[in-house]
Structure 1
Amino acid sequence: MIQKHLMLALLWLVVICQAKANDTFCENGFEFRLLRAGDCSSLVVTGYHPIPSVDYSQPLHVPASVTHDGIKYIVERIWHDAFSGLACLQHVIIDDGISIINDNAFARCINLKSVYVPTSVEGVSPSAFAGCYSLSSLVVDTRNEYIDSRDSSNAIIDVDNDELLVACPSTRIPHSVRSIGEMAFINCTTLEELVIPEGVESIGSSAFCNCSSLKSITLPESLKKIGNNAFDRCNSLATIYIPKNVSEIGCMNIFSWCNGLSSIMVDNDNLYYRSRPENDAIVRKSDSALVATCGRTMIGDDISILDGECLYGTVVHSVNIPKTVAKVSGSAFVGCYGIDEITVAPDHPDFISPKGSNALLSKDGKTLLLGCRSTVIPDGVETIGESAFWGRYPNLVLHLPETIMKIDESAFGHCNAVEEVIIPKSVHSIGEGAFSDCVNLAVVQILSPVKTIEKFTFNNCYSLSTVSLPEGVETIGLCAFKNCKNLKHISLPKSVTKVEYWSFENCPAFEKK
């Protein structure tokens, strides 16, 4: 039920983005924006400006209706980031009639102590109160049919699914809860210890993201599933014990950026996963795949597969691929910025690492699967694999050899050292997000006859100012240049016949010539 209402909230984004400037107004410090649906008019709260004369030690009421220019409007929802970062707020009462509380609505309100949620609210984003580390009272009206805060839990729980959706540092998880939702405890930075009660079967993706003070967490034997990045950035967590009934662990490292984690133990009776003698990782029993790691993890000869993004956010300086490892993807090392050395067992049947290359290559030498900060791309390489250099290419100028024919998805994503990219004529394919989030990339020269600039190729390249596209390019993909805020010089060739949605979103100076 809650997921349904949040999806409806996202659909409203299309409507609100079409609102005109004169459809916004302020009353009593609140900013409102008008929505139109048929013959009815309603509002969303989009912001708030503190008033010097207001005593914020008293509750601030978020109104469910407002009169403006003699017209009374209904307030339907609290919009994204509407109150985020307001240090003045201490107590908030949301008036009955508001139905949706969107992403980060009250995020980082560091002095917010109590929130009252009325019977009318049907959906609350998990991040609505993220970073409110003073929040100690989170109460839902007992008559609400969709959500509750049962057993004085100081949490918001989905009634239909018994899923804990939103938590705060003082949350006590009721025994009736069956799952911890995605991002439920996100940014609860003062939470130090937690016992999850028996009955909980699932922990959602990023459920405890950035709980930086969390030192101890006890998982119940009833637990069956742990989602991606569940304990992301739990820097104070030193040890964790995985109970015997856990049968599913997300494909992204559940301990990403847990820099203090030194011991990972799996119950000996677990049928699906095992820990290693060193207690430094989780390994899937069925195929000896490495699925979750910490800063002490080494790739030993007990490993056959580097699964998903199993080393995501782990501090790694040296990588050695033993003979037992039969499957490696560059995505396994996403977030491993510090790799300086790559070696492969000399008699490996599937991979090679030519002397001096500091790279992992397919046996035929045509695909570079993994690169690092000291890689020299060997002669004969034709493909730069998926996420191969993610965050690790060290040079100011990326000038690829003339033998390169294909650059795979995210191959050079997050390579912040790169300021100029020259793509040679030999390249016929550039994958999605190949250079996404290269924040210092300023100049791109594409000399090759690629037909499509794939979606997200240069997304979030904030410094990008000059792009040279060759004749022959036909399509500019979805969000291909999104957030390239400094893009000033780009000329689309006559061959371009399709520019997809948001290709140049937030590119103020873009001009189609």
Structure 2
Amino acid sequence: MKIYLSIIVSFISVICKSQRMTVNQINYQMTGDHKAMVVKGSYSGNIIIPDKITFQDVTYVIEALGYDSFSGSHQLISVKLPESIRNIEGRAFEDCINLTSINFPKSLQRIENAAFFKCDQLKKVIIPENVELISPNAFSYCSSLQEISVDPKNKFYASKDGVLYDKTFKILIKVPDTKSEVNIADTVEKIFPSTFENCRFLSKIELPLSITDIPTFSFDNCKALKEFNIHQNIKTIGWDIFRNAENLEKFTVDPLNPNFSTEEGVLYDHEKTSLLKFPPAKEKFTIPATVKNIVTSAFNTSKNLKEIIIPETVEKINTWAFANCPVLTKITIMAKKPTYMSEAFQISRKITFYVPKETVEEYKKSNDSSWKNANYVGI
């Protein structure tokens, strides 16, 4: 009997916690004993969230903005949060393209994954003293963001020149999208994939010697960059780090770096056996005969690339290696048999490969769909 009673009580508790209610055109959901959070709705104009609501004679404290709660509310202009709010959950304000103003109360502790993703009109953010977690991509693609400031009393985060760091200045978390220059603290040891994301006005980025790893997508949409230097201490570089950096003309590598090298501005591993990244501003290129491997996304978003010659030494062309190359029309491959290729040419039109004329039939017979569905011209 006690077991059945426990099950019934638990079931009732689950029902109560999932109960939704609407008060003054704002949707809420119970989260616990006399507590609730704001949940998904279509919101517009200037919203004021109360610290408490009363529903069916019961009072609830509003502690959170739930996952996806305001997302897609294109007519939302401003939000005023009460001192009871502790958590802004993931994607809470995603794609609120006209949100210009929001206050973060002293009670706030967490700003989660992509909470303000693509809030195009948000210009300034002030992080209060009790925030203990900010997702690295919380403010990704906030195209008008100028400044992130932090209360000096905060124990976990700090800001300098409007840029967000952890308190120790060892982690660079977010550079606001509108920055045209940034002087990175020389104590920084780590950056995130979203740190420089969409910083389309930065023409120069100098990483301090204390940074050894550059993660995937690090400089996505950094359209003003024309040159990038790999200093002597860089050990790893993620794939597609300069996606949509369409004006990048060349890479340089410190001669003391034991891991990477350049030739004609193109980035390779130290032995030049793997081609890592092609500067998107280039129009024509012949891959050197030392190269055996073209890594994932090596030429991705090379929107100016028209012609490429791939030597017979290349043994593998990885996924998306030549994705989003809209004007690439002449692809010459010197290999006498089909090279291993995995969805390398993500191009909507049917591709024409120029190959040695004596190998055309062998290419056509290939079981690999990447080769089978193409046109061939013998050279």
Using the size of structure 2 for normalisation, the TM-score is 0.71
User: Given residue 344 of structure 1, which amino acid in structure 2 is its aligned partner?
Assistant: I
Alpha-carbon offset, residue 41 of structure 1 = 6.0
**Cα distance in 2, alignment partners of residues 40 and 189 from structure 1:** 40
SS of match in other structure, 2:365? coil
Which stretches in structure 2 are left out of the alignment for 5+ residues? 1-13, 136-146, 353-360
Task: Give runs of aligned pairs for residues 26-425 of structure 1, distance below 5 A.
Answer: 26-32=22-28, 34-35=29-30, 42-47=36-41, 49-50=43-44, 56=46, 61-78=48-65, 79-80=67-68, 82=70, 84-86=72-74, 89-90=77-78, 92-103=80-91, 105=93, 107-110=95-98, 112-113=100-101, 115-128=103-116, 130-140=118-128, 142-146=129-133, 154=149, 170-171=162-163, 173=165, 176-181=168-173, 184-185=174-175, 188-250=176-238, 252-276=239-263, 278-279=264-265, 281-285=266-270, 288-295=273-280, 296=282, 298=285, 299-315=287-303, 316-345=305-334, 348=335, 352=337, 361-362=338-339, 373-375=349-351, 379-385=364-370
Alpha-carbon offset, residue 156 of structure 1 = 9.8
Q: Flag the 1:89–1:330 CA change in 2: closer, same or farther, 3 A.
A: closer
SS of match in other structure, 1:154? strand
**Cα distance in 2, alignment partners of residues 314 and 71 from structure 1:** 60
**What is the percentage of aligned positions where both structures have the same residue?**
17
User: Given residue 80 of structure 1, which amino acid in structure 2 is its aligned partner?
Assistant: D
SS of match in other structure, 2:205? strand
**Cα distance in 1, alignment partners of residues 160 and 124 from structure 2:** 7
Q: Flag the 1:41–1:228 CA change in 2: closer, same or farther, 3 A.
A: same
Contact 1:289 1:307 in 2 (8 A): yes
SS of match in other structure, 1:89? strand
Q: Flag the 1:172–1:102 CA change in 2: closer, same or farther, 3 A.
A: closer
User: Given residue 300 of structure 2, which amino acid in structure 1 is its aligned partner?
Assistant: Y
Q: Flag the 1:292–1:110 CA change in 2: closer, same or farther, 3 A.
A: farther
**Cα distance in 2, alignment partners of residues 95 and 208 from structure 1:** 32
Contact 2:44 2:75 in 1 (8 A): no
Contact 1:63 1:94 in 2 (8 A): yes
Q: Flag the 1:337–1:288 CA change in 2: closer, same or farther, 3 A.
A: same
Q: Flag the 1:234–1:155 CA change in 2: closer, same or farther, 3 A.
A: farther
SS of match in other structure, 1:282? strand
**Cα distance in 2, alignment partners of residues 219 and 146 from structure 1:** 25
Contact 1:35 1:41 in 2 (8 A): yes
Which stretches in structure 1 are left out of the alignment for 5+ residues? 1-17, 353-360, 396-513
Alpha-carbon offset, residue 362 of structure 1 = 3.5
Q: Which has the higher contact order (CA 8 A, sep 6+)?
A: 2
User: Given residue 154 of structure 1, which amino acid in structure 2 is its aligned partner?
Assistant: S
User: Given residue 202 of structure 1, which amino acid in structure 2 is its aligned partner?
Assistant: K
Contact 1:203 1:226 in 2 (8 A): yes
Q: Deviations over 1:433-468 (max 9, x none)?
A: xxxxxxxxxxxxxxxxxxxxxxxxxxxxxxxxxxxx
**Cα distance in 2, alignment partners of residues 155 and 214 from structure 1:** 23
**Cα distance in 1, alignment partners of residues 367 and 59 from structure 2:** 65
**Cα distance in 2, alignment partners of residues 108 and 260 from structure 1:** 29
Contact 1:87 1:112 in 2 (8 A): no
Contact 2:315 2:339 in 1 (8 A): no
SS of match in other structure, 1:218? coil
Match of 1:445 in 2: none
